Amino acid sequence: MCGIVGYIGGRQATPILLSGLKRLEYRGYDSAGLALLNGEGVKVLKKPGKIRVLEEAIDGHPHLATCGIAHTRWATHGAPNEPNAHPQTSSNGDIALVHNGIIENSDVLRAQLQAEGYTFASETDTEVVVHLIDFLWKDGPLENAVAAALREVDGAYGIAVVSSRDPEKIVVARNGSPLLIGVGQDGEMLAGSDAAAVIERTRDVVYLDDGDYAVLTPEGYRTYHLEGHEVDRGVQEVTWDLDSIEKGGYEHFMLKEIFEQPSSLADVMRGRLLEDQGDARLGGILAHQFDLGRIQRIVITACGTSWHAGLVGEYMIEELAGIPVTVEYASEFRYRNPVLEDGTLTLAISQSGETADTLAALKEAQRRGLKTMGVVNAVGSTIARQTDFGIYLHAGPEIGVASTKAFTSQLVALALFTLFMGRRREMSALEGAGIVQHLQVLPSQVEEVLKLNDEIRDLAASYRDARNFLYLGRGYQFPVALEGALKLKEVSYIHAEGYPAAEMKHGPIALIDEEMPVVVLAPRDPIYGKVVSNVEEVKARNGRIIAVVSDDAPELQGKVDHMIKVPHTLPHLLPVLTTIPLQLLAYHIAVMRGCDVDQPRNLAKSVTVE
């Protein structure tokens, strides 16, 4: 979490830094700050709260400078107040540093620096690094002192540093937290936590690797490894454009991204469906068919919404490709001692490609000599680069903190992978072709679901004051129930639980009364009849039932309070269609409750700390 921007060039830095920060606000919004460098030294301004607050503070008092660094924070060490906001500065204010990550040995370093006479103005782990740079900086350029300090540091960081003792440059470094360089034109260079921070000025980016640091000057950039040697990381072009990270007329990014799903789903399938062969063409894994052919088991690891996609993946891959699958929270996987026999593929699912726990789980699997695969949205992200092979979602940037379009793209990417693996095992060409045909029409079916928006908004008005919600589903719909509950919790702060419908009688049924809305996922799949019985159980306790169905569901008529009807498709693809009404329901309830849907309290989109 946390977002970093840096600029050096011929223009005024402040507006460029603020605009970059706003594009990174999804990474955290507890406080924001910037440090500007001009002939008069380092000028720091920081404020608790969102970037808007910082911007208001700057308004009317612009500080002229053509070099600066900036930060938006998601608090880890210390409350989100002004002293803890970044940039952190050296005692005499001549070095300023912004940081994303966690310095794990900060307590030890802090004690050592205090013994050397340093006093600390904040509770952050970051301040340790800036004092350490000061302590180790005897002579020579800033980058030597930064590198010397980073060699003492354990943990994760993306940092940017400026100093009036060695002006006309920004030093950046990364280890475990993302950081890239934007190679501008006409003598300007940028840095950012991701490409969104720099795209207004350049599409040419250089992704730093762990252990790299770089020096940016108006003349260009040089990259080095902490071990001392210069490295060449190569320039890559960002393929998406600014429009895709603007709201485009929608009130919120979340709504825009929900409505983008017909096109994001078309994009994840583009060029990948082979109807004649009943197969999927997956360029990112084709060259690894041999390894995949030897796979005997798959461990899916992910966090949050991506973990829910993994659960759907488990059901699909086991049923249609016949490969045993387990799904693990990455945060659990990395610290237990899982049995990972030869022939196990570790599959990491991540929208951002930067989630610290998922990355650590991946590294643990690699340490054990296992093959790893990624299902990732952010092109060039750490997880995408760390895995042996993978499938990109091509969903475009997702800005709303609550994941929507990335989730449905993950489901389809997993369906494509299932098809690919199934066709290399027992699945017939005919069955494969049937799946391809259903996939082809999925985007237009999603269009149909989106037409329910007004109906769902009306429904939201009836339930906006509920204090609890229960979501029930079975089979492929159980992960959808979890995801529906998570969406509502995230954006509306209403307590919600997702449950396998049949498990309800082992506990949650005690919660049901006339106050309790229960969302039941009841499309006509092979387990529909069982779900109808579960509906009866809720009805008998006077629960208020919203059913998501895929036909007229005569068995449920008169038993449920509301019915939301989505088109029908194959059972393993139905989650794509049944999820969307739940996204809309959460969105509208949150808006009606006055919540900040795009930036819910305490959350961040990219969780780069454990």
**Which residues here bind ligand G6P, judged by CB under 6 A?**
303-306, 350-352, 355, 358, 401-403, 603, 605-607
In the bound state with ligand G6P, the residue whose beta carbon lies nearer, of 402 and 449, is: 402
Q: Which of 2, 67, 303, 595 is catalytic?
A: 2
CB 487 → ligand G6P: shortest distance, Å? Answer: 9
Q: Which of 46, 50, 487, 605 is catalytic?
A: 605
Angstrom distances, CA of residue 527 to CA of 166, 172, 268, 310, 504: 68, 55, 28, 20, 16
In the bound state with ligand G6P, the residue whose beta carbon lies nearer, of 351 and 409, is: 351
CB 582 → ligand G6P: shortest distance, Å? Answer: 14
Give ∠ CA 375-330-108 in degrees, rounded to 5.
Answer: 125
Residue with tokens 């475990």: 176
CA 215/CA 229 separation, integer angstroms: 13
Residues in contact with 179: Cβ distance below 8 Å, sequence separation at least 6, in sequence order: 4, 100, 158, 159, 160, 172, 173, 191, 192, 193, 208
CB 605 → ligand G6P: shortest distance, Å? Answer: 5
CB 240 → ligand G6P: shortest distance, Å? Answer: 17
Residue with tokens 């950081």: 179
In the bound state with ligand G6P, the residue whose beta carbon lies nearer, of 47 and 605, is: 605
DSSP code, position 369: T
Supply 6's token pair.
């840096």
In the bound state with ligand G6P, the residue whose beta carbon lies nearer, of 572 and 605, is: 605
Q: Is 546 exposed, middle or buried (0-12, 13-18, 19+ CB in 10 A)?
A: buried
Contact (Cβ atoms closer than 8 angstroms) between residue 31 and residue 47: yes
CB 606 → ligand G6P: shortest distance, Å? Answer: 6
Q: How far from the centroid of its chain's Cα atoms is residue 343's Cα?
A: 29
CB 77 → ligand G6P: shortest distance, Å? Answer: 19
Helix or strand or coil: residue 462? helix
In the bound state with ligand G6P, the residue whose beta carbon lies nearer, of 134 and 357, is: 357
CB 210 → ligand G6P: shortest distance, Å? Answer: 18
Q: Are strands 468-473 and 517-522 parallel, antiparallel or unpaired?
A: parallel
In the bound state with ligand G6P, the residue whose beta carbon lies nearer, of 401 and 553, is: 401
Residue closest to ligand G6P when measured from CB atoms: 304
Q: Are strands 3-8 and 67-73 parallel, antiparallel or unpaired?
A: antiparallel
* Nearest alpha carbon to residue 398 among 258, 202, 201: 258
CB 350 → ligand G6P: shortest distance, Å? Answer: 3
Q: Are strands 371-376 and 389-392 parallel, antiparallel or unpaired?
A: parallel
Count other C-beta atoms under 10 Å from residue 510's C-beta. Answer: 10
Whether 371 is catalytic is no
CA 406/CA 376 separation, integer angstroms: 9
Backbone angles phi, psi at 270, to 5 degrees: -55, 125
| Helix or strand (DSSP H, E) at 279 | strand 279-280
Contact (Cβ atoms closer than 8 angstroms) between residue 362 and residue 383: yes
In the bound state with ligand G6P, the residue whose beta carbon lies nearer, of 161 and 607, is: 607
CA 307/CA 300 separation, integer angstroms: 8
In the bound state with ligand G6P, the residue whose beta carbon lies nearer, of 86 and 605, is: 605
CB 607 → ligand G6P: shortest distance, Å? Answer: 5
* Single-letter code of the amino acid located at 367: R
CB 500 → ligand G6P: shortest distance, Å? Answer: 21
Alpha-carbon Rg of the chain, whole angstroms?
Answer: 25
Whether 605 is catalytic is yes
Q: Are strands 297-302 and 344-350 parallel, antiparallel or unpaired?
A: parallel
User: What torsion, rounded to 10 degrees, do the Cα atoms 315, 304, 297, 579 define?
Assistant: 20
CA 336/CA 466 separation, integer angstroms: 38
* Single-letter code of the amino acid located at 154: D
* Single-letter code of the amino acid located at 187: G
DSSP code, position 574: H
CA 559/CA 557 separation, integer angstroms: 5
Q: Which residue numbers are catalytic?
A: 2, 605
